[in-house]
Amino acid sequence: MNNMDKPEILSANGLYHIYESKAEDGNVVALRGLHVKVYEGEAVAVVGPSGSGKSTLLKSLGGLMKPSAGLVSLSGRRITRLTGSELVELRQQTVSFIFQDANLLSHLNALDNVAQPLRHQGVLPHIARQKAQTLLDKLGMGDRAKGKPEQLSGGEQQRVAIARALITNPRLILADEPTGALDPITSREVLELFARLHKEEDVAFLLVTHNREVAGFCDRSLELRDGRFVAQHGTDVDIGNLSDTRELIIDDTGTVTLPPDILLNIGGPGRFELPEIDRDLLRMERVNEDKIDVGVKTELTLSKTCPACFHDYGDSDDQLCPDCGSSRPMIQI
Ligand SMILES: Nc1ncnc2c1ncn2[C@@H]1O[C@H](COP(=O)(O)OP(=O)(O)O)[C@@H](O)[C@H]1O
Ligand SMILES: [Mg+2]
């Protein structure tokens, strides 16, 4: 079935975020009016340079922070409208997060870290632990279950974090560079697990990544630059050379933002004519230099007489006719 036929698990409209700072010119516009849709069971990557807004986007989408403006819906419910406890409940039922750093609770061992989200939902300890153990086994961490985070390597901690994310059977996983801190082998294992969840259990993903294998596992990748989506790529995305697979996006406000390398290739910013506009086709040509001079050299001056009542203004520079109240027009000399 085509993904587009499925209901949306996540959608955002007109998402803006500004980090306010008291320092002069310290405000940062991190998101500039983003629209995103992720369908049930779809895997979408977000790629883009550091500082482009990827983490801010993910946190806003998952309800971890409130964007300055815009709407976010999870499973068809607007999270921007929900109260604190409703939001927590919806998040628990739908979405799990995986960050680059595992963010484990240091006083709990691996097993209890994994079991924790179920404990929050009121599941009995022995049942939660049982499920946690099964997941740790699956991730090759079964014999490390009693280890405290400080006794585990970075890769092991991340696998624990992933098990913790999976224990609630989320319909959507939001992951911010989930393999960023892992060695290539662990990274591949994690990816295989994601791929399995995606294929066999129809779990949807929105993954921020710099890793081409991660992006390759996704159905499509969105390219983020400076807080805007500039393009979309298919499964064959090559993060090292984004220009090969790029499709530009025109959003429903009609806005298109060019990726910086394309902007450079066409000779930088400027004005363009549209000699051809057809359905599904837009051709743009740079307006040549001599046309840029729009300053038609006409000089305008205040009219000597009122166009309505023919009052003679004489030498006065009144803007309104003293007789009839009409505005005084400018005319060509
Ligand atoms: N807490 C914050 N306060 C102020 N500015 C921030 C904060 N977090 C992120 N930023 C700024 O917002 C922009 C986007 O950041 P971020 O979402 O972390 O990007 P990415 O994850 O793509 O590296 C950057 O310019 C960053 O410096
Ligand atoms: Mg980030």
- pLDDT over 70 at 164, yes or no: yes
Ligand 1 centroid vs 282 CA: distance in angstroms? 34
Which pLDDT belongs to residue 125?
94
Q: Closest-lying ligand to the alpha carbon of 176? A: 2
Per-residue pLDDT tens over the stretch 82-131: 888 888 888 888 899 998 888 899 999 999 999 999 998 899 999 999 99
Per-residue pLDDT tens over the stretch 206-215: 999 887 778 7
Which pLDDT belongs to residue 196?
87
Which residues keep their CB under 5 angstroms from ion ligand 2?
A: 54-55
- pLDDT over 70 at 191, yes or no: yes
What CATH number belongs to 3-258? 3.40.50.300
Which pLDDT belongs to residue 291?
57
CATH 3.40.50.300 in the chain is located at 3-258
Mean pLDDT over 1-28 rounds to: 83
Percent of the chain with pLDDT over 90: 43
The confidence band for 290, taking pLDDT boundaries of 50, 70 and 90, is low
Mean pLDDT over 43-69 rounds to: 93
Q: Pick the residue with more confidence: 208 or 318?
A: 208
Tell me if 133 CB under 6 Å of ligand 1.
no
Tell me if 50 CB under 6 Å of ligand 1.
yes
Ligand 1 centroid vs 50 CA: distance in angstroms? 9
DSSP secondary structure, 57-106, as one string: HHHHHTTSS--SEEEEEETTEEGGG--HHHHHHHHHHHEEEE-SS----T
pTM for this prediction = 0.80
Tell me if 52 CB under 6 Å of ligand 1.
yes
Tell me if 18 CB under 6 Å of ligand 1.
no
- pLDDT over 90 at 201, yes or no: no
Which pLDDT belongs to residue 79?
86
**Helix extents (H) in the chain:** 54-61, 84-94, 110-120, 125-138, 154-166, 184-201, 212-217, 260-265, 289-292
Per-residue pLDDT tens over the stretch 257-268: 888 888 888 888
The confidence band for 42, taking pLDDT boundaries of 50, 70 and 90, is very high
- pLDDT over 70 at 185, yes or no: yes
Edge-to-edge strands of the sheet including 69-74?
28-39, 8-19, 69-74, 77-78
DSSP 312: B
Q: Pick the residue with more confidence: 180 or 292?
A: 180
